Chain A
């Protein structure tokens, strides 16, 4: 029983402040670097001492790794050779890294002539084939470790300059660099104190790749007889010597190769971990797609009339964490009917997007459906349980019976394909029809969503369109297979006000004109838009629906204190207030809880102005209005005339 905690504490206390994931790579790398330099301690043998009688001798007690073609001790040669290889590689890489990064940083921050100098200089060096350049220089200046360092650092300088340049350019355009400039921070402090740490990740990865490549090139040149001068040992030299006796003595070639491989592996391993550690958010630990198997709870669907297009019953979603599942969505029930627009309203972290993704069968890998039923009506009229479908059947459902449009129309369209081609592909993937029929259908859909000159736009690219037009194309694509349910996740948030109003009108129009009675699930944080478009509103807070009912009633006479507060905090609901007159908006104190840290009791109790002490103890049940049309999850709802459900 006691063994486990003891082991755990010993591990973490080994080196306080030292990240645990770095221990193994650091030890490995340190060992591989230090061992060659500890050569005199390990073996007394001289790496250049020739003993012709014992050439190609197998390992013995005196010579652990045997002797080479001149009878020299292989252990001594691989160790002393490592000294040379590592020194050349690291000195050259470090020089290239410092010079290249500085060039990149200065070029990216100051632009103008500095940018020209950095990019052109790198381009010029990159124009030379690296091996050819190395051969040329070595031939001119004669072989030797010093020449190698010089050649390698010139060769590798551009890769650092380029990476540092492009990364620094990206970081310089971020607001926090602008903020430093606005503060009047001197340029050198911005470059070294702000930009440099933020590009350290990619540069360190480049360092590992380059150091590894430098070791290889050093060995390659030595192999060709252009690097380290014999008889001085180096790994390339060893391979060169052993090559001729490969068939009689495979060990001779194996030893330097293993040394090379191990060293390069250790460097890469170390740098990968280093990059993850340097990232302030830490490595995104594990959590790899644990295949989520939705649980079919076998619920009996109640009140499922023919106009119900989709229903969510008592949905409970858990986020799978190393420490166990964390509940993120709790008891969410929704009924979506044909010809109706239901708005799902909530702030970030309320779970509105997760709920909609569940309806598409598109839950992220780390989220598991723990309870509840998701049911969807197919075009055949049959109601299917999403939990009972396999991945392939779900795929057939998406786009066909349920479709989705997203917030950012630019990222949802493939920029390198023509708009029409993308639409035709979407149509043909679900329908068997001739390409010319698909084209005609696509053009008629473009016309339906109000795109001028649809035939011309059909042959255009997404970048030729404005944001509003792209969102119209997305809607047209979503409608290609005449789905019964359209999920719109913040479809107008990225658009300008005047364009937003047009898209809302389009969605409104589609609901009346569209043939088989489209049901719209509209996800938004903007109550003004919701008031325009929704028939019913479900307000979500921290993974639960806290209020649900007809839009006009919920927005004009909200019962849940969160809905009240949300409406109150909108500046547009207080057109009489003005900051210059000392007026304050009625803000909700505190912040919305994160989905994975939901409060106990009523999830809103710690921000609620009317909370009573018992609110912190238990989750409030849903209270239902007398006509059954409204539901509120609040202990104080009975004061507004609502009753506990069943």
Chain B
């Protein structure tokens, strides 16, 4: 099966301040990241702050440009595409944001928010419009009579549903969910997760689900990719990554997560996350890794096959 989205060797850095008179100091946030999302698949991206997970989400939508690497959506290379074609393609790929307060224009009614989406791609024109708006509201579990209200009249969970409705309005094939449930209360988070699960069951939509919450990612994703300092550490089927991590970083991350049931000993990581400005040589995780060898400092460990559809970027097989 050809993937819906295929990203190869994506690299991205941001300028931070100056170096000398003319030089720019660059902070590398993505290092050689490759991933693919198949039709109907949910790929989870997990990592701590500075891991580059949000940057990936925005780069694959071409909301920010990448330094190098290719992004193919349905076989089309997004970096070679004209801006007109890109705008047309935006119908098929959407994004849901973390902050339900910043993601809606406070001055627009819900109707205006959804209409902007439909107008842009000339969808459901004329009499079909009203029906579509009601359908969208119902799809995300909101009362259609709320259409003419403004965002400040809604709670965080309801706003998040509006954000989802906006993304769904153009019937995309692929949605980036950037920490889409992280800001919600536990009881509301479960509702929105169920809504996303229903949508994927009904419409066969693909998701790139970005989150720092490992249990949420495990529940919603088919496959999970673990990032650290802009590098892929491990990728594989969600349950396997969660219950049987192969990479020491994944194992540490999962053991650090506070849970009601886990009583297993936490794997202690020493020190803080290094600055992306001065990343460690070799394996970026080696400075905090309890299993690091001298060899880890020498070469960047390649992402290699670990069997059962899993890949890991660690030179050791004799641990975990």
Partner of B197, one of A174, A532, A579, A592: A579
**Which of these, A179, A466, A572, contacts B259 with CB under 8 Å?**
A572
Contacts of B95 in A (CB 8 A): 178-179, 182
- B184-224 Cβ-contact flags toward A at 8 Å (1 or 0): 01111111011011001100000000001111101110100
Shortest CB-to-CB span from B229 to chain A, Å, is 12
B200: nearest chain-A partner, CB-CB? A579
Contacts of A468 in B (CB 8 A): 272
- Find out whether the CB atom of A571 lies under 8 angstroms from the CB atom of B216: yes
Determine, out of A28-36, A79-87, A498-506, A616-624, the stretch whose residues face the partner at the interface.
Answer: A498-506
> Which of A198, A566, A571, A592 has a CB less than 8 Å from the CB of B193?
A571
Cβ–Cβ contact B190 & A184, under 8 A: no
Which chain A positions have C-beta within 8 A of B86? 184
Interchain CA distance A467-B48 in the complex, whole Å: 12
Tell me the chain B residues, 268-297 only, with Cβ under 8 Å from chain A. 269, 272-273
B315 to chain A, nearest CB (A): 22
Query: Is there an interface contact between B63 and A577, defined as CB atoms closer than 8 Å?
Result: no
Tell me which residues across on chain A come within 8 A of B200, comparing CB atoms.
579
What separation, in Å, do the CA atoms of A571 and B42 have in the docked complex?
A: 16
Interface assignment of B120: CB less than 8 Å from any CB of chain A: yes
**A588 surroundings in chain B (CB, below 8 A):** 187, 190-191
B257 touches A573 (CB 8 A): no
**When chains A and B are docked, how far (Å) is the Cα of A179 from the Cα of B222?**
26
Cβ contact of B88, chosen from A184, A555, A586, cutoff 8 A:
A184
Question: 1/0 contact trace for A466-507 toward B, CB 8 Å?
Answer: 111100000000000000000000000000111111001000
B104: chain A residues at CB < 8 Å are: 176
Q: Is A347 an interface residue (CB 8 A)?
A: yes
Chain A neighbourhood of B213, CB < 8 A: 571
Is A185 interfacial (CB 8 A cutoff)? yes
B42 touching A180, Cβ below 8 Å: no
CA distance A280 to B104 in the complex (A): 12
* Min distance, Cβ B289 to any Cβ of chain A, angstroms: 12
- Bound Cα distance A579, B194 (Å): 8
Does A578 make an interface contact (CB < 8 A)?
Answer: yes
| A residues 157-188 in Cβ contact with B at 8 Å | 174-176, 178-186
Query: In the complex where A184-B91, A529-B258 touch, is A575 in contact with B272 (Cβ < 8 A)?
Result: no
Of the 9-residue stretches A241-249, A394-402, A437-445, A520-528, which lies at the interface with chain B? A520-528
Question: In the docked arrangement, what's the CA distance between A569 and B192, Å?
Answer: 11
Structural contact, B152 and A281, CB atoms closer than 8 A? yes
| Cα–Cα, bound, A184→B93 (Å) | 10
Q: Could you say which of A198, A573, A591 contacts B106, with CB atoms under 8 Å apart?
A: A198
Q: Are A575 and B97 in contact (CB under 8 A)?
A: no
Within 8 A of B (CB), among A502-553: 504, 525-529, 531-532
B21 located at the interface, meaning its Cβ lies under 8 Å from any Cβ of chain A in the complex: no
Shortest distance in angstroms between A194's beta carbon and chain B's nearest beta carbon?
6
Bound complex: CA A574 to CA B218 (Å): 10
Query: A592's closest neighbor in chain B, by CB?
Result: B185
Query: A347 and B187 in contact (CB under 8 A), knowing A501-B266, A572-B215?
Result: yes
Measured CB to CB, the closest approach of chain A to B177, in angstroms, equals 12
- From 100 to 158 in chain B, residues with beta carbon under 8 angstroms from any chain A beta carbon are 102-108, 116-117, 120-121, 150, 152, 155-158
Residue of B at shortest CB range from A494? B49
A594 to B152, CA, bound (A): 13
**Which of A467, A532, A575 interacts with B258 by CB under 8 Å?**
A532
Given contacts A175-B103, A570-B186, A582-B201, contact A496 B273 (CB under 8 A): yes
Q: Is the pair B97, A179 in contact by a Cβ cutoff of 8 Å?
A: yes
Q: A175 and B94: CB pair below 8 A?
A: no
Q: How far is the CB of B29 from chain A (nearest CB, A)?
A: 16
Tell whether, in the assembled complex, residue A528 and residue B166 are in contact, meaning their CB atoms are under 8 Å apart.
no
Residue pair B105, A183 in contact (C-beta under 8 Å):
no
Do A569 and B190 touch (CB < 8 A)? yes
Interface check A348, CB cutoff 8 A: yes
Most buried by A among B91, B93, B107: B107
Residue interface mask A585-624, B partner, CB < 8 A = 1: 1111101101000000000000000000000000000000
Chain B residues contacting A496 (CB-CB under 8 Å) are 48-49, 212, 273
Q: Is B61 an interface residue (CB 8 A)?
A: yes
Alpha-carbon gap, A407 to B197, bound state (A): 31
Residue of A nearest to B64 (CB): A178
Interface string of B223-258 (1 = CB under 8 A from A): 000000000000000110011000000001100111
Say yes or no for A99: interface residue by CB 8 A criterion: no
B194, A584: Cβ atoms under 8 Å?
yes
A150 within 8 A of B: no
Contact with B along A193-235 (1 / 0, CB 8 A): 1100110000000000000000000000000000000000000
Q: Are A184 and B187 in contact (CB under 8 A)?
A: no
**How many residues from B make CB contacts under 8 Å with A?**
76
Which of B42, B90, B106, B194 is within 8 Å of A585, CB to CB? B194
User: Which A residue's beta carbon lies closest to that of B170?
Assistant: A183
Once A182-B61, A198-B106 are accepted as A-B contacts, the answer to whether A525 and B186 lie under 8 Å apart by CB is: yes
Query: Which one of A183, A198, A567, A583 contacts B117 once the chains associate, using CB atoms below 8 Å?
Result: A183
Q: A468 CA to B201 CA in the complex, in Å?
A: 40
B219 and A591 contacting across the interface, CB-CB below 8 Å: no
Per the bound structure, the CA–CA distance linking A526 and B184 in Å amounts to 12
Q: Does B99 contact A (CB under 8 A)?
A: yes
Contact B120 A185 (CB under 8 A): yes
CB atoms of B218 and A575 under 8 A apart: yes
When distances are taken between beta carbons in the complex, the residues of chain B under 8 Å from A497 are 48, 212, 214, 253, 256-257
A526 touches B258 (CB 8 A): yes
| Distance from B39 Cβ to chain A, minimum over Cβ atoms (Å) | 14
Q: What are the residues of chain A within 8 A of B99 when measuring CB–CB?
A: 175
Closest-CB distance, A184 to chain B (whole angstroms): 3
Task: Tell me whether B186 and A182 are in contact (CB under 8 A).
Answer: no
A591 adjacent to B188 (CB under 8 Å): yes
In-complex Cβ contact of B166 among A183, A466, A467, A526 (8 A)? A183
B87 interfacial contact with A, CB 8 Å = yes
B90 touches A182 (CB 8 A): yes
- The answer to whether the Cβ of A41 comes within 8 Å of any Cβ in the partner chain is no
Does B18 count as interface, using CB distance less than 8 angstroms?
no
Q: Tell me the minimal C-beta distance from A399 to chain B in angstroms.
A: 28
Whether the pair A500, B256 counts as a contact (CB closer than 8 A) is: yes
Residues of A within 8 A of B219 (CB): 571, 574, 577-579, 583, 585
CB distance from A217 to the nearest CB of B (A): 33
Q: Give 19 A-B pairs besides A570-B190, A571-B219 with Cβ atoms closer than 8 angstroms.
A: A176-B105, A178-B63, A178-B95, A179-B95, A183-B120, A184-B87, A184-B88, A280-B150, A498-B256, A528-B257, A569-B186, A575-B215, A578-B218, A580-B222, A583-B219, A587-B188, A591-B157, A591-B188, A594-B155
User: What is A's interface to B at a CB cutoff of 8 Å?
Assistant: 174-176, 178-186, 189, 193-194, 197-198, 280-281, 347-348, 466-469, 496-501, 504, 525-529, 531-532, 555, 565-567, 569-575, 577-580, 582-589, 591-592, 594
A–B complex contacts, Cβ < 8 Å, 23 sampled: A174-B102, A175-B99, A175-B103, A181-B63, A186-B120, A280-B152, A496-B48, A525-B185, A525-B186, A528-B258, A528-B259, A529-B258, A569-B186, A569-B190, A570-B260, A571-B193, A574-B219, A575-B243, A578-B218, A578-B238, A584-B194, A587-B188, A591-B155
- Shortest 7 CB-CB distances between A and B: which pairs? A528-B258, A184-B90, A587-B190, A572-B215, A569-B190, A175-B103, A579-B197
